[in-house]
A and B are shown apart, each in its own frame.
Chain A
Amino acid sequence: MDYLLVSIIKILIIAPLLLATLAYIVWLERKVIAHVQLRVGPYFVGPHGLLQPIADAVKLLTKEDFIPSGVNHFFYWAAPWLGLMFSVSAIAVIPFGPIVEIFGVKTNLGLADINIGLLWILGLAGMGVYGIALAGWSSNNKYSLLGAMRSSAQMISYELPMALALVAPLLMSNSLNLREVVDTQAGFVFGIIPNWNLFTGFQLVGFIVYMICAFAETNRIPFDLPEAENELVAGFHSEYSSMKFAAFFMAEYCNMIIVCSVATALFLGGWHPIVPPAIATFVPTFLFGLAAAVLFYHSSHPIRPTDRKSFFVFGVIFAAIALVFLAPAAGPILNSLFWFFAKVGFLLFFFIWVRATLPRFRYDQLMKIAWLFLFPVALANLVLTAFFVTLFSK
């Protein structure tokens, strides 16, 4: 019963946080792309457009839910929610931190700690195709159908090299449980190089293959052929509006979080810091303190008149966060959470950065990359890793 209660509390904390994060990643993406393109992005709803996601949510909720003629009603209705369900439930096995003790209760920072964690994520990634395929098929629109076809073919093709790239770090950790995989990456080699699979496991090739596949799996630029505007209107979600459209949007961003979290757990050492622990404890405080200092400086030398007030408030918030990391009780827990989310955040930023930078591939190029380049490379990486693991484990 205790376990059930703890699980329910964790779900009640993680689910709203996840939804809020999904909304604010959209804000982040719009801001980052805007700054790459020398614009300011959302600015008018709330300070620096911070309330824009809420305005978007209200807009989408109150919009007319338009259903085109000739659609298969049941599947048209079910497809977006199926897609969202599969991507959201993958968050259950992501370990955000180590096993900790909060108020006398010992628990792991994550929802489920199962010994097939990675297989669960791969299984759900495979199921995620149904949302898109059914949406395209039931919309009764040729562009939707073509988009859905492209998306399913692409996801099936890229799942293979992705799984092969993921197996190599698993070989070294000898476990499918993501928390145990992270645990084997603790510590430092020569006191300075973190013992992550990316560095001491020599998985740079695997990591790059995985990241390329991750872009394809989430249908992001440069692999966003399923929603190529100039060819297919909006691809599989052309005919969707209102909350159903929002469900597709949320599923895409949730998938981004999942693939970034998996990369963090398998290649980047999960919640283990990149610098030795003696320094690592103070890094969050230092970074947030630095951000606060910069904000205070800009509030005293404002470029725009509104910055004087808004930057000061943000500076106070960041300074408060910096001090929280020094608290003796919460410090260690927050520290590991900080390192996990910093890595995931960096990878998410990388996704957005790539979207602002690269053009789209052609469809035949997309398939060629998967089958003729990524697949052999991932296979060679796996064979080499397996060889060295057997060589050194004896």
Chain B
Amino acid sequence: MDLVLFLTFALIAVACALNMALQRHPVSSALSLIGVMVSLAVLYVLLGAEFIAAAQLVVYSGAIMVLFIFVIMLLNAGAEKMTKKAGTAHFLGFPLLVILLAISAWVITNATSAMKPVKFGAFTKGGPYEVGWELFTRYLLPFEVTSILILIAIAGAYRLANKEME
């Protein structure tokens, strides 16, 4: 059952990722990205990390991607058009992609020899309690630094928006 679910959603994730790159229309691409995120959330659940799965749903597909779609719709961005330089990109893009994939495959295969394979549901540190505990003890400093970073970003966004209004 776990394996069937894993294969289904892994395939959906890969298909959505490919679709995101291949689609010409920004809205289609953004929706494919949502598909990737939702299938990743399912994979997290299969591994036993429920909280991370929920956070993935709430934060990535619920909040960030809504803003993406919002911006695309506000700008009323149409389908992508070919420009003059697109020819070179077509010519060079595919070989470069193959090289990138080869390098990352090589890195991953070399790195995985040191890693242990993950079993479905064997990971028990993904609940809300465990994640919260780790965040407020072991990773307290990075956690607080991130919050301050976000606060600075909010202040900066506010400043920029105000500047435009004046």
- Per-residue CB proximity of A115-152 to B under 8 Å, as 1/0? 11001101111110110011011000000010011001
**Contact A126–B50 (Cβ < 8 Å):** no
The 9 closest A-B CB pairs, nearest first, are A126-B62, A123-B57, A119-B54, A123-B58, A116-B54, A116-B50, A137-B73, A129-B66, A176-B128
Q: Are the CB atoms of B127 and A133 closer together than 8 Å?
A: no
Q: A119-B58, A120-B57, A130-B66 are in contact. List 12 more A-B contacts (CB 8 A).
A: A115-B127, A116-B54, A119-B55, A122-B58, A123-B58, A130-B31, A130-B69, A133-B69, A133-B70, A134-B69, A137-B73, A145-B73
A370 shortest CB reach to chain B, Å: 15
- Asked whether A123 lies within 8 Å of B50 as measured between CB atoms, the reply is no
Complex CA distance for A100 and B58, rounded to whole angstroms: 32
Complex: A124 Cα to B58 Cα, angstroms: 8
- Evaluate contact between A133 and B73: CB separation under 8 angstroms: yes
Known: A137-B73, A145-B73. A120 touches B63 (CB 8 A): no
B58 / chain A contacts, CB cutoff of 8 Å: 119, 122-123, 126
Q: Can you list 21 residue pairs at the A/B interface with Cβ under 8 Å?
A: A72-B27, A75-B27, A119-B54, A119-B57, A120-B57, A122-B58, A123-B54, A123-B57, A123-B61, A126-B57, A127-B61, A129-B62, A130-B31, A133-B66, A134-B27, A134-B69, A136-B73, A137-B73, A145-B73, A148-B73, A149-B74
Number of interface residues of A (CB under 8 A): 27
Question: What CA separation (Å) do A137 and B66 show in the bound complex?
Answer: 13
CB distance B66 to A152 under 8 Å?
A: yes
State whether B50 touches A115 (Cβ < 8 A).
Answer: yes
Secondary structure type dominating chain B contacts? helix
Residue of B nearest to A117 (CB): B54
Q: How far is it, in angstroms, between the C-alpha of A241 and the C-alpha of B104 when the chains are bound?
A: 49
Mask, B42-71, CB within 8 Å of A = 1, is 000000001101110110011100110110
B70-120 residues at the A interface, CB under 8 angstroms = 70, 73-74
Contacts of A18 in B (CB 8 A): none
Residues of A within 8 A of B67 (CB): 156
B27 proximity list for chain A (CB < 8 A): 72, 75, 134, 137
Residue in chain B with minimal CB distance to A145: B73
A79 CB → nearest B CB, Å:
10
A114 at the interface (CB under 8 A from B): yes
List A contacts of B31 (CB < 8 A): 75, 130, 134
Interface positions, chain A 138-173, Cβ under 8 Å from B, are 145, 148-149, 152-153, 156, 159
Q: State how many angstroms separate the Cβ of B20 from the closest Cβ of chain A.
A: 15
Whole-angstrom CA separation of A116 from B50 in the bound complex: 7
Residue of B nearest to A129 (CB): B66
Q: Is the CB of A126 within 8 A of B128?
A: no
Q: Which residues of B contact A115 (CB under 8 A)?
A: 50, 127-128
Confirm or deny: B34 has a beta carbon within 8 angstroms of a beta carbon on chain A.
Answer: yes
* Chain A interface helix/strand/loop/mixed: helix
Q: Considering the complex, give the chain A residue whose CB is closest to the CB of B63.
A: A126
B residues near A152, Cβ cutoff 8 Å = 66, 69-70
B97 to chain A, nearest CB (A): 27
CB distance from A191 to the nearest CB of B (A): 34
Q: Which residue of A lies closest to B51 (CB)?
A: A116
* Distance, CA A178 to CA B63, complexed state (A): 23
Is B51 within 8 A of A156, CB to CB? no
A116, A133, A145, A159: most-surrounded residue (chain B CB, <10 A): A116
The listed residue with most A CB atoms (<10 A of its CB), out of B55, B57, B127, is: B57
Q: Select from chain B the residue with minimum beta-carbon distance to A126.
A: B62
A149/B62 in contact, CB under 8 A: no
Nearest to A124 among chain B residues (CB) is B57
Considering the chains assembled together, what is the distance between the CA atoms of A324 and B73 in angstroms? 55
Q: How far is the CB of B86 from chain A (nearest CB, A)?
A: 24
Question: In the bound complex, do residue A127 and residue B69 qualify as a contact, i.e. CB atoms below 8 Å apart?
Answer: no
Residue of A nearest to B70 (CB): A152
The complex places the Cα of A129 from the Cα of B58 at a distance, in Å, of: 12
In the complex, chain A residues whose CB is within 8 Å of the CB of B34? 130
Q: Mark A332-364, 1 if CB is under 8 A from B, else 0.
A: 000000000000000000000000000000000
B57 in complex: contacting residue of A127, A148, A176, CB < 8 Å: A127
Closest to A133 in B: B69
**A137 / chain B contacts, CB cutoff of 8 Å:** 27, 73
Identity of the chain A residue whose Cβ is nearest the Cβ of B41 in the assembled complex: A123
Q: How far is the CA of A156 from the CA of B65 in the complex (A)?
A: 12
Give chain A residues whose Cβ lies under 8 Å from the Cβ of B73: 133, 136-137, 145, 148-149
**Mask of A83-108 contacts with B, CB within 8 angstroms, 1/0:** 00000000000000000000000000
- Write out the residue numbers on chain A whose beta carbons fall within 8 Å of the beta carbon of B62: 122-123, 125-127, 129
| A123 and B55 alpha carbons, distance in the complex (Å) | 8
How many Å lie between the Cα of A114 and that of B58 in the bound state?
A: 16
